[in-house]
């Protein structure tokens, strides 16, 4: 009997279990629900702690003998009122938004040209240039802010939002370029070659072919750049002195901490309100962010 006859004589069986091992409830609880519940708890507990601390009266913040640290009795809005109306927090929030948006736009514009030149033009040494750009991102900001401070002073933009808008791209451009290089690499070269045959210029190819296909990658890079700009602390602390020009990370720390006196309620409220724009941004573009992780157009 030949091999083919032996194969035909044996009944075909499907040994692939797939997700059938989750049919039983105990196993489903241990494998799926319990890890998911732990993950959600670890992820959301800081926000819960900030929320209850922001509305706790001062008498309950440290009195754990009479009050539970995980719950609030008689919530108050005094901390939020103090933060919004007796400090410069609305101005800090506006400064952070303006700086983050401008720095992100500048960084994405420069990163698109750099990533396209490295991945699509194919000049000599392009891979080495890409590697050096990524290595520039690994340089600690604590080293860069010293020479950047000299440049900021010479240009006369110290203690202004321009100081942050022009210095944040020093660490945003390398990261966004590295991210877009990987995304541009996944776009088939045949699309670009077809456009070249039809007489399109490099600029037309970039604007009409590459960028429309790279929208998920651009949004993903923009989200990361915006988040890094929003949470940046070293440059904002070094280049901004006046209270009205501070950003949220620096303003909350320097204005709400006076020696050994911590305004815990206002601190938690400021941290909670400061994290909401980033959460909202992620929630709106989560689909594009996930699609960028799986690559672009497949051949």
* Domain co-membership, 158 together with 64: no
Is 4 within the bounds of a domain? no
**Beta bridge partner(s), residue 258:** 261
Q: CB-based contacts of 49: which residues, under 8 Å, 6+ apart?
A: 268
* Domain co-membership, 163 together with 26: no
* Domain co-membership, 49 together with 154: no
pLDDT of residue 19: 59
Least confident window among 51-55, 117-121, 236-240: 117-121
* Domain co-membership, 163 together with 72: no
* Domain co-membership, 50 together with 103: no
- pLDDT tens for residues 3-57? 555 555 555 554 555 556 566 777 777 778 888 899 999 988 988 999 999 999 8
* Domain co-membership, 118 together with 218: yes
**What mean pLDDT is predicted for residues 63-88?**
87
- pLDDT tens for residues 149-159? 889 999 999 99
Is 299 within the bounds of a domain? no
* Domain co-membership, 68 together with 96: no
For 43, what's the count of Cα atoms within 13 Å in the CB-facing half-sphere? 7
Q: In sequence order, what DSSP letters do the residues of 3-48 get, joined into one string?
A: HHHHHHHSPP-----TTGGG-SHHHHIIIIIHHHHHHHHHHHHHHH
* Domain co-membership, 69 together with 100: no
Is 297 within the bounds of a domain? no
Q: Are 228 and 99 a contacting pair, CB within 8 Å?
A: no
Helix (H) or strand (E) holding 262: strand 261-262
Domain limits for position 28: 21-76
Cβ-based burial of 119 (10 A; exposed 0-12, middle 13-18, buried ≥19): buried
- Domains identified in the chain, total number: 2
pLDDT of residue 140: 81
d(CA 109, CA 121): 17
For residue 106, pLDDT beyond 50: yes
Q: Are 173 and 166 a contacting pair, CB within 8 Å?
A: no
């Amino acid at each position: 009997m030949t091999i083919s006859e032996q194969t035909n004589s044996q009944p075909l069986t499907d040994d692939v279990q797939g997700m059938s091992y989750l049919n039983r409830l105990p196993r489903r609880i241990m494998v799926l629900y319990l890890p998911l519940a732990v993950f959600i708890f670890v992820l959301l507990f800081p926000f819960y702690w900030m929320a209850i601390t922001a509305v706790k009266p001062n008498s309950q913040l440290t009195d754990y003998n009479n009050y539970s640290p995980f719950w609030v009795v008689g919530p108050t809005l005094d901390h939020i009122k103090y933060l919004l109306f007796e400090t410069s927090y609305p101005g800090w929030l506006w400064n952070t938004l303006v700086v983050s948006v401008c720095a992100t736009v500048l960084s994405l514009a420069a990163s698109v040209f750099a990533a396209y030149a490295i991945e699509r033009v194919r000049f000599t040494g392009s891979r080495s240039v890409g590697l050096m750009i990524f290595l520039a991102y690994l340089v600690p900001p604590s080293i860069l802010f010293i020479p950047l401070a000299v440049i900021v002073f010479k240009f006369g933009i110290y203690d202004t939002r321009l100081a942050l808008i022009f210095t944040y791209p020093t660490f945003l451009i390398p990261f966004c370029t590295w991210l877009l290089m990987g995304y541009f690499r996944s776009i088939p070269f045949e699309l670009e070659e077809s456009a070249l045959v039809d007489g399109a210029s490099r600029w037309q190819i970039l604007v009409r072919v590459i960028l429309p296909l790279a929208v998920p990658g651009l949004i993903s890079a923009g989200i990361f750049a915006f988040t890094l700009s929003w949470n940046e602390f070293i440059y904002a602390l070094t280049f901004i002195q006046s209270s009205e020009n501070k950003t949220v990370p620096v303003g909350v720390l320097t204005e709400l901490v006076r020696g050994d006196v911590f305004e815990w309620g206002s601190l938690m409220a400021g941290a909670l309100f400061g994290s909401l724009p980033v959460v909202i941004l992620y929630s709106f573009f989560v689909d594009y962010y996930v699609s960028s992780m799986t690559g672009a157009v497949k051949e």
